[in-house]
Structure 1
Amino acid sequence: MGHGGNVIDELVTDHREVEEIFGKIEALPPGAKNRKVYADQATMELVRHSVAEEAYLYPAVREHVAGGDALADKEIEDHSKAERIMKDLEGCEADDPRFDLLMGSLMSEVRMHLSDEEQNLFPRLRAACPPAALDDLGDKVRRAKKIAPTRPHPSAPDEPPANKLLAPGAGLVDRLRDAMSGRGKLD
């Protein structure tokens, strides 16, 4: 979280980090306790990433990219699907029979979304948006991720201005809950 560079470089680095966490989950045997820890880490990263994209990336796509409204709407719908899966996963331990099914669904959904962004949305944004604006968006995304929620909130608004107003408060509560519970931390 918070890597530097323009918005596309920042988000692609996030994608690689989530993929690395998915690899750790896949390397462990079913039911292993640390699969839940890594699932929580993936959720924390994905929620922060999604909140930042919805607050800054997708409005820029709507503004700069031809057909940007439809692109942004599709990406937000992808986020909603993943968030609903993460919410269901939140209530499962690694030995729960639903855990592997939900984790598999989440990984599939997220991998398709990341591929679509990297192959379609990011190249179109890079071509349409001035480099200085991409750099500015990178800074905004990094700041947003620092205060964003870390838990799925499927009923929360996903478009500005409501998401920008509510995310910091939810983020504070989530980070306090995470700190008190040790969520996402290996023993």
Structure 2
Amino acid sequence: MPFLTQAARPSTRLALHLFKPTTIRSLAAMSMSTISDAIKKDHQEIKTYAENIRTATDDDSKVRWQNQFTWELARHSIGEELVVYPAFAKHLGAKGQEMADKDRDEHQSVKDLLYKFQKLSPTDPSFTPTLEAIMADLTEHITGEENDDLPTLEKALEREDSESMAKSFGRTKAFVPSRSHPSAPNKPPFETAVGLMTAPIDHLGDLFRKFPDKTVSPNPSTK
């Protein structure tokens, strides 16, 4: 990304992961999908990770899926705020700005809960209730996006513009923070600036966190 300074770049190990062949193929595949396809794919993965936390039979597995869930949800939320929500305003005018403002408010609630959840141990009594609170808010948000917001946006876009936005969304997610920072600005350009300062710290921490086996994660060599 041209706006990254030397100081803001992730570690070499992380950079190699981001641009390894499997990641490049994933971005290439996303470029052939619409922005709605890309968003819905993320939504399904987030739901799957939450269910994997619920059904994990030991604390180690719960922690791994907790980290995967946090990693995906944090990146997805910021990717939408940087790429998708500005497109609402650009292509849909005042109605689109209302949609973007509503979705950002919903994201803020999820970010606040995720910030708490990402630090909890599975043995904490609030672990499961916090996860369920996140998913309750998120389910309502996802329903509104998939049934109303995204179809409205797609009607205003040419197919190639939607595909280009999906590609931009995927690339953006590779460089944003991977943990929740609810006090950070949620609108560009300030969100972009804060994200570029915060992301390398999050990505470095990811190298030392446990993630599930055979999942796309920042530290696949950590088992």
Partner residue, 1:54? 81
- In the alignment, the residues of structure 1 paired with residue 210 and residue 71 of structure 2 have an alpha-carbon distance, to the nearest angstrom, of 9
* Contact residue 91 and residue 156 of structure 2 kept, 8 A: yes
Partner residue, 1:12? 40
Q: What displacement does 1:185 show?
A: 4.3
Distance 1:152 1:183, change over 3 A: farther
- In the alignment, the residues of structure 1 paired with residue 194 and residue 131 of structure 2 have an alpha-carbon distance, to the nearest angstrom, of 28
Gapped regions of structure 1 (runs ≥ 5): none
| Larger relative helix fraction | 1
Partner residue, 1:74? 102
Paired positions, count: 185
* Contact residue 39 and residue 103 of structure 1 kept, 8 A: no
Matched to 1:35, the amino acid is K
* Contact residue 78 and residue 176 of structure 2 kept, 8 A: yes
Indicate which of 6, 22, 25 corresponds to 2:53: 25
Partner residue, 2:191? 163
SS at match of 1:97: coil
Indicate which of 101, 124, 133 corresponds to 1:96: 124
TM-score (norm 1): 0.91
User: How does 1:144-183 map onto structure 2 within 5 Å?
Assistant: 144-179=172-207, 181-183=208-210
Matched to 1:27, the amino acid is T
Within the alignment, does 1:45 sit opposite 2:72 as a pair? yes
- In the alignment, the residues of structure 2 paired with residue 133 and residue 161 of structure 1 have an alpha-carbon distance, to the nearest angstrom, of 22
Matched to 1:61, the amino acid is F
Please give the per-residue CA displacement for 1:110-161, whole angstroms capped at 9, x wherever unaligned. 1211111111111111111222221221111111001111000111111111
- In the alignment, the residues of structure 2 paired with residue 43 and residue 110 of structure 1 have an alpha-carbon distance, to the nearest angstrom, of 13
- Equivalent pairs: percent with the same residue? 25
- In the alignment, the residues of structure 2 paired with residue 80 and residue 25 of structure 1 have an alpha-carbon distance, to the nearest angstrom, of 22
SS at match of 2:174: helix
TM-score (norm 2): 0.77
* Contact residue 33 and residue 95 of structure 1 kept, 8 A: no
Of structures 1 and 2, the larger Rg is shown by 2
SS at match of 2:178: coil
- In the alignment, the residues of structure 1 paired with residue 210 and residue 181 of structure 2 have an alpha-carbon distance, to the nearest angstrom, of 16
